[in-house]
Structure 1
Amino acid sequence: LVDRCKKLEILVSEKHLTSLQKIDISGCSSLREFSLSWDSIEELDLSHTCIEILHSSIGRLSKLRRLDLQGLRLKDLPKEISCLRSLTKLLLSNCNIVTKSKLEAIFDGLESLRRLYLQDCGNLLELPENIDSLSSLYELRLGGSNLKMLPTSIKNVSSLEIMSLDNCKKLGWLPELPPHIKMLSADNCTSLVCVMSLKALLKSMKGVQRYISFKNSMKLDAPSLDRIMEDATLAMKSVAFHNTIAVYDYGYSYSTARVCLPGCRVPRQFKFRTICSSSSITIEPPHLSKTFRLIFSAVVSSSYGMKERDNDAIIKCQSYSEDGRRKLVGNMLIRNHEITDLSMDHVFVWISPFCRIFDKSKVFEFSVTTTTGEHNGFYSLKECGICPIYYSEFPRIAAAMNLDRDLEREIALKLSQMFGSDLNESMQFESESIERD
């Protein structure tokens, strides 16, 4: 490790050191020339140096797992990187040499790559279609790049679960996503107009934490906003039913889901909502008599002073029954980075894995505070809403998700054990309706 050695200018060696596994010369701001051929190296960090030429011999590092080239002003990106069959993490952020053609030349050989960082790559306008050759890719970070679109082949990157597009200010269109996405952040995508589908949210729900954010992406058109919320609501209903297995078996593999979108109204999917900026919802008891779980929504206002605050916020929902009993039925923690710098009102939607309600719940009251319980005016709610999930919906949700038959039967069994004959009758009716449709 010789990181941040400001006077180091040349590091060249022909000696073969068989035990050396890690080289870190990051921040050696005077380093211009580097050439090593030790095939035992597993981690190589050349970030933030003055290296302009990366020798083709790098392709011989057969054991290399992590390669960090962030901030380099390379004259070329050697195609021999594609020979690094063991590489699992490649960091190319803030490298202007990165273009569509350069990436296309290296992607085909990186079958072990799990993490790819391409933030702030100013000359990256598109990703190559062969991105789907990255069969092991789990995390893709593209924030701050000049991407205008993503290739349709992105949906075939079957292992991808985390994708960050924050501050991609030229991105105008988002195609169908891979089947196992669990975190999508597209904050400050100020040119983003169209999002095709988020049905990928419906896959692999067990024990998954879903997070979708389009903070300050103000140009999203109405059809896209509606598609996002329709798919997200269906995903949250799926979360509720999958959690029956964890609840009944006293397990800890709960699933959760949350979404953040620009907007000033609670989505249409929420039948029960506030009007005129009220902070409570009054619901007649019959509406909840066969409710299984609830989905919550709140419109958070970009109140003054939020940029100066350094606090997280909590939105709470409490239920009050006719006999005066009160119970916390759903809350959501909003991290400081999620709520600061909001350029307009935003809609937050979430489902709590521990949500339980009283059959006789009549009033639902929402409030927002800091984590210390302060009501200081820095955060305010403009609208709130709840969307009941009825246990009789399960056959329709299962059909929409194309559930594995064994898993469908397992969930149905847990539901019948929880709700008894009423559920069986409702599910039979729903199943017959689906068959007739």
Structure 2
Amino acid sequence: MPSAFCAEKLVELHIPGSQVTRLWDGVQDLVNLKKIDLSKCKQLVELPDLSRATNLEEINISDCEVLCQLHPSILSSPALEYLMLYGCKELKSFKGEIRSKSLRRLDFDGCSSLEEFSVSSGQLTSLTFKSSGIRSLGNELCCLTSLEELALSDCRELTELPHNVKALSRLQILTVSGSSSLRSIPELPLSIGEVHVTDCTSLETIFSLKEESFLRRISFMNCMRLDEESRNIIMEDAHLTILKKILLISAENSHLWDSHEFNRRFSCDVCYPGSKVAEWFKCRTTEGASITVEIDEPYNQLLGFCVSCAVSQEFSPYYSVYCEYDLGDGEKYPLGTYYLNELRGRWNTDHVCLWFHPFYDSRIKNNIERCVGRDDHGNTWNKTILFIFTAEGLESRMDDFFIKGCGVSPIYLSDVLHLIPNWN
């Protein structure tokens, strides 16, 4: 800018894609400035002091490829709502105190040289790193007391997560993918609902995912080195979570919820490397894609079905696993589908998938009731149900060659009653 440039009345500054290397020297009175767009300014090497830009709402410096540092004043505006800096390939450090109560999301996608990150904020809810050079986040992460989502994708230098991540009492979603140097997942907070860990090829151990939490999704796709204890933790935590959710469904009359609300609150599915269905399944087989289950308790105490199958590594994760049941009346009824859509390539080993289908509506109950003989007290006559698993492609049903084993566990009222004394 010209040396005599006065920015006192400047409201918006838009010069994207220009050859500008810097804006001005010194400190300008920027009291009216609300927006800055310097995106794709590939020669920009520094930003000016913005400490007087007290009304600044939006800064876009994305794809500024040679910008290697930020002026500490960039986070000082109490009105800041958007800070876009993805694609800043030479940015090495991001530190400071976020004074804004409106800035909720930071996205460091493509900041491949970023090694240091340390901020304090009580309002930030989403933090995303993709293809960055970050090695660790530091224990200062616990200062982000409102954080709900943490995502680290293709951060190949990432060696650890902060041990105090459990202090993030509002964290709901943790995503870690392609971090080939990460070896363990620390203890997570009770608030956690989804854990997506994929292609972490050095991951060996995880801590319990917390029996008090209400997990909706647990995925450890292509984490081949998980030790046996960690795999047992995954399945034990999933089992307890499913039982608790079924008890909650029964207590809340959830047949009144629509399908979207039901899936948001009560769904739970699991995927991890393995070739056998968990031993706690009441009916399971290590061969074939179908299994017969007996209804051996009073029908009116049946609350739902937990289903699982082992899927061959040749099966593309872009596809899905479909389950249906046959009551012997000449019809096959859909039970549910497990969608496998978290990987961009193929599996490098066999995987076990698990999900559950509670009776949150009357369709399955009505189907079974028509075919299951029972007396006036609701006792069944040992009726059998055939469950069939099938691989589905993008356009059509595929052969069951990919299903290496399956299991079904009917969930009865007696299975969840023991949880009531400890229910909070």
Cα distance, 1:87 vs structure 2: 2.8
Cα distance, 1:322 vs structure 2: 4.5
Q: TM-score if structure 1 supplies the norm length?
A: 0.78
In 1: Cα distance, 2:344 partner to 2:137 partner: 30
Corresponding residue to 2:70 among 54, 58, 73: 54
Matched residue, 1:11: 23
Matched residue, 1:165: 176
Matched residue, 2:414: 392
Contact 1:4 1:29 in 2 (8 A): no
Contact 2:56 2:80 in 1 (8 A): yes
Per-residue deviation, residues 276-298 of structure 1 (Å, max 9, x unmatched)? 2x121122342684421111111
Matched residue, 2:377: none
Matched residue, 1:284: 294
Residue 70, structure 1, aligned to residue 86, structure 2: yes
Per-residue deviation, residues 247-281 of structure 1 (Å, max 9, x unmatched)? 343455212111110111111121212332x1211
Question: The residue matched to 1:352 in structure 2 has which SS?
Answer: strand
> Identity of aligned pairs, percent?
28
Contact 1:291 1:391 in 2 (8 A): yes
Matched residue, 1:215: 221
Question: The residue matched to 1:33 in structure 2 has which SS?
Answer: coil
Matched residue, 1:242: 248
In 2: Cα distance, 1:174 partner to 1:8 partner: 44
Matched residue, 1:23: 36
Contact 1:147 1:170 in 2 (8 A): yes
Corresponding residue to 2:390 among 360, 367, 376: 367
Q: Specify which structure has the higher proportion of helix.
A: 1
Residue 329, structure 1, aligned to residue 356, structure 2: no
Cα distance, 1:218 vs structure 2: 0.2
CA gap 1:279/1:17 in 2 versus in 1, 3 angstroms:
same
Residue 129, structure 1, aligned to residue 139, structure 2: yes
Matched residue, 2:352: 347
CA gap 1:385/1:287 in 2 versus in 1, 3 angstroms:
farther
* Alignment size in residue pairs: 383
Alignment of structure 1 residues 89-168 onto 2, 5 Å = 89-95=105-111, 98-99=114-115, 102-104=116-118, 106=119, 109-122=120-133, 124-145=134-155, 146-168=157-179
Per-residue deviation, residues 5-50 of structure 1 (Å, max 9, x unmatched)? 1534333486656555333322222222322632222221212212
Residue 231, structure 1, aligned to residue 252, structure 2: no
Residue 403, structure 1, aligned to residue 419, structure 2: no
Per-residue deviation, residues 383-432 of structure 1 (Å, max 9, x unmatched)? 11112211122232345xx533xxxxxxxxxxxxxxxxxxxxxxxxxxxx
* 240-249 vs 260-269, greater mean Cα deviation: 240-249
Cα distance, 1:315 vs structure 2: 2.2
Per-residue deviation, residues 65-106 of structure 1 (Å, max 9, x unmatched)? 33233333557646444444543222234446644xx434x3
Cα distance, 1:340 vs structure 2: 4.0
Cα distance, 1:223 vs structure 2: 0.8
Cα distance, 1:194 vs structure 2: 0.7
Counterpart AA for 2:254: V
In 2: Cα distance, 1:269 partner to 1:330 partner: 21
Cα distance, 1:221 vs structure 2: 0.5
In 2: Cα distance, 1:154 partner to 1:219 partner: 23
Question: The residue matched to 2:153 in structure 1 has which SS?
Answer: coil
Question: The residue matched to 2:270 in structure 1 has which SS?
Answer: strand
Cα distance, 1:344 vs structure 2: 1.2
Alignment of structure 1 residues 23-42 onto 2, 5 Å = 23-35=36-48, 37=50, 38-42=53-57
In 1: Cα distance, 2:125 partner to 2:102 partner: 10
Question: The residue matched to 1:286 in structure 2 has which SS?
Answer: coil
Question: The residue matched to 2:271 in structure 1 has which SS?
Answer: strand
Counterpart AA for 1:403: W
In 2: Cα distance, 1:192 partner to 1:78 partner: 27
Output the aligned Cα RMSD.
2.9
Gaps of 5+ in 1: 405-437
CA gap 1:339/1:345 in 2 versus in 1, 3 angstroms:
farther
Gaps of 5+ in 2: 1-12, 373-382
Residue 193, structure 1, aligned to residue 212, structure 2: no
Cα distance, 1:328 vs structure 2: 1.9
Per-residue deviation, residues 333-386 of structure 1 (Å, max 9, x unmatched)? 333x44841111111111235673525342111212225333268x72111111
Question: The residue matched to 2:165 in structure 1 has which SS?
Answer: helix
Question: The residue matched to 1:35 in structure 2 has which SS?
Answer: coil
* 109-118 vs 4-13, greater mean Cα deviation: 4-13
